[in-house]
Amino acid sequence: MENIKLNIEKTLDFIAKDKLASYEEKVRACMETLEKGTGLGNDFLGWLHLPSSITKEHLADLKAAAQTLRENCEVVVVAGIGGSYLGARAVIEALSDSFAWLKEKKAGNPTIIFAGHNISEDYLYELTTFLKDKKFGVINISKSGTTTETALAFRLLKKQCEEQRGKETARKVIVAVTDAKKGAARTTADKEGYTSFIIPDNVGGRFSVLTPVGLLPIAVAGYDIEKLVAGACEMEKVCANGNLHENPSALYAATRNELYREGKKIEILVNFHPKLHYFMEWWKQLFGESEGKDHKGIYPSSVDFTTDLHSMGQWIQQGERSIFETVVSIETPNHELHFPSDEENLDGLNFLAGKRIDEVNKMAELGTQLAHVDGGVPNLHVSVPTLNEYYLGELIYFFEKACGISGYLLEVNPFNQPGVEAYKKNMFALLNKPGYEKESEAIQARLKK
Ligand SMILES: O=P(O)(O)OC[C@H]1O[C@](O)(CO)[C@@H](O)[C@@H]1O
């Protein structure tokens, strides 16, 4: 079977070939540091060999829990934020019919809704109102078990589920994915007797999509988690290669780091299929939280083309030359649709008659690549044979491994996220959370100035 492929040809006018070759040694050293666990953040390397360590029994347990939710719920609310949310959403949206949520019949698949990733009163009001006449269940996902956004949504959902469906049924349709011992989500799950799954200590949130964090919701949505893991396993093998040009993760990490050194401070991840929107969001957290520290790091951003060519296209073509693009390109779409001919040809589009829509999309993709490269934007190209579980598994591991290598090339700890605490500390102080008395006083004094 083919694998995803990386092409860096369209960056070579922007970086010297010998410079890239000089990464061979550095990348090998980073890979060794990851393997030996001798680098920064080495207590969070559980993702490195995660795909190949997932057992059939573990997948069977996940599928059994998913089946219980599928049989007992029309709607399943997945509560989580950041790494406890984006991976599942990325995969589910990439695989779902774009209009599935509008269809009456869903072939036994419950509608998946996400919550716990914002504190919007309107969102939560509208969600709880929508759920009023629904047989719904909840997957409560939080590694720390204490994240405010998720905990707040879960309290509302738990109460509503118990009131609507009774305590007994609620116990059956609420599942927790959290730490083995710590945190409020664990305490509640144990006390209420919920089915629960453990997020391994050594897997950080943004690297956790192949743990129950991602696998359970994906299975509930009706997708094949065995294939997802199989794709990731394949990339685990491919990306173990110590040869820069035979290891796409290593080559991607090296190329983007060299571009960064050449002043390309922003990476734009590009798709030409809107279903990949959340995959890009997942990638942004992966690289943003991993590399954006010590006042360093490429700023990860994303666009959905061709939609955003009509909004951000101008900036990308002619704005400050501090950007490069990485295109995730789907070789063959899952459906076929031909453009019809029209006798009157009032819209002048008969030159497209008989062509597949994808042919037009691909020409837009190629035309954009050429234009952006001409405009001074280096272009990396990740080619994906087709959009399915297997190749999403490959993509996930490819980017995770690249992120580990890239973080070490940048000489940061890619596995912590100390900066995220700053807003939380202020929010707790402003809300007078017990334990934050001193901070509350200080912040109030600051606001009075
Ligand atoms: O799974 P948790 O502990 O709720 O955390 C969710 C997300 O919040 C962060 O810790 C940042 O606050 C992310 O790193 C993480 O993915």
- H or E element: which one contains 369? helix 357-374
CATH architecture of the region 5-40+231-409: 3-Layer(aba) Sandwich (3.40)
**Residue spans of alpha helices (H) in 15-140:** 17-21, 23-36, 50-53, 56-72, 86-95, 121-130
Question: For residues 407 and 404, what is the distance between their CA atoms, to the nearest angstrom?
Answer: 5
CATH superfamily for 50-228 is Glucose-6-phosphate isomerase like protein; domain 1 (3.40.50.10490)
Q: Which atom of ligand 1 is nearest to the CA of 86?
A: 16
CB contact at 8 A, 377 and 13: no
Q: Give burial (CB, 10 Å; 0-12/13-18/19+) of 120.
A: exposed
- What does the pLDDT read at residue 107? 66
The residue among 191, 195, 234 whose CA lies nearest residue 212 is 195
| E-state strands within 237-287 | 266-271
- What does the pLDDT read at residue 258? 98
433 Cα to the center of ligand 1, angstroms? 19
Q: Whose CA is nearest to atom 16 of ligand 1?
A: 83
Catalytic residue among 236, 281, 289, 325: 289
- What does the pLDDT read at residue 16? 87
Q: Is the CB of 416 under 6 A from ligand 1?
A: no
Q: Is the CB of 211 under 6 A from ligand 1?
A: no
- What does the pLDDT read at residue 101? 82
Question: For residues 152 and 159, what is the distance between their CA atoms, to the nearest angstrom?
Answer: 11
Question: For residues 394 and 400, what is the distance between their CA atoms, to the nearest angstrom?
Answer: 10
The reply to whether domains 5-40+231-409 and 50-228 share a CATH topology is yes
Helix (H, G, I), strand (E, B) or coil at 345: coil
Close Cβ partners of 220 (under 8 Å, ≥ 6 residues apart):
66, 69, 70, 76, 110, 112, 139
Question: For residues 373 and 2, what is the distance between their CA atoms, to the nearest angstrom?
Answer: 27
Q: Whose CA is nearest to atom 7 of ligand 1?
A: 82
Q: Whose CA is nearest to atom 9 of ligand 1?
A: 82
Close Cβ partners of 304 (under 8 Å, ≥ 6 residues apart):
271, 274, 276, 277, 280
93 Cα to the center of ligand 1, angstroms? 21
Q: Whose CA is nearest to atom 13 of ligand 1?
A: 82
Cα distances (angstroms) measured from residue 442 to each of 35, 36, 390, 432, 449: 45, 44, 52, 11, 11
Supply the ipTM of this predicted assembly. Answer: 0.98
Question: For residues 297 and 258, what is the distance between their CA atoms, to the nearest angstrom?
Answer: 12
Catalytic residue among 167, 181, 237, 424: 424
- H or E element: which one contains 300? strand 299-304
Q: The whole model's pTM is what?
A: 0.97
Q: Which atom of ligand 1 is nearest to the CA of 424?
A: 12
Q: Is the CB of 183 under 6 A from ligand 1?
A: no
Please indicate whether residue 424 is annotated as part of the active site. yes
- What does the pLDDT read at residue 105? 64
- H or E element: which one contains 325? strand 323-332
Q: Whose CA is nearest to atom 8 of ligand 1?
A: 82
Q: Is the CB of 143 under 6 A from ligand 1?
A: yes
Q: Is the CB of 208 under 6 A from ligand 1?
A: no
Q: Is the CB of 158 under 6 A from ligand 1?
A: no
The domain limits of the chain are 5-40+231-409, 50-228, 423-448
Close Cβ partners of 423 (under 8 Å, ≥ 6 residues apart):
none
Q: Which atom of ligand 1 is nearest to the CA of 80?
A: 4
Question: For residues 273 and 358, what is the distance between their CA atoms, to the nearest angstrom?
Answer: 10
Q: Is the CB of 290 under 6 A from ligand 1?
A: no
pLDDT by 10s per residue, the chain, length 449? 899 999 999 999 999 888 999 999 999 999 999 999 999 999 999 999 999 999 999 999 999 999 999 999 999 999 999 999 999 999 999 999 999 888 876 667 999 999 999 999 999 999 999 999 999 999 999 999 999 999 999 999 999 999 999 999 999 999 999 999 999 999 999 999 999 999 999 999 999 999 999 999 999 999 999 999 999 999 999 999 999 999 999 999 999 999 999 999 999 999 999 999 999 999 999 999 999 999 999 999 999 999 999 999 999 999 999 999 999 999 999 999 999 999 999 999 999 999 999 999 999 999 999 999 999 999 999 999 999 999 999 999 999 999 999 999 999 999 999 999 999 999 999 999 999 999 999 999 999 98
Q: Which atom of ligand 1 is nearest to the CA of 84?
A: 1
- What does the pLDDT read at residue 102? 84
Please indicate whether residue 325 is annotated as part of the active site. no
Q: Which atom of ligand 1 is nearest to the CA of 144?
A: 3
Q: Which atom of ligand 1 is nearest to the CA of 141?
A: 1
Beta bridge partners of 325: 268, 379
Q: Is the CB of 83 under 6 A from ligand 1?
A: yes
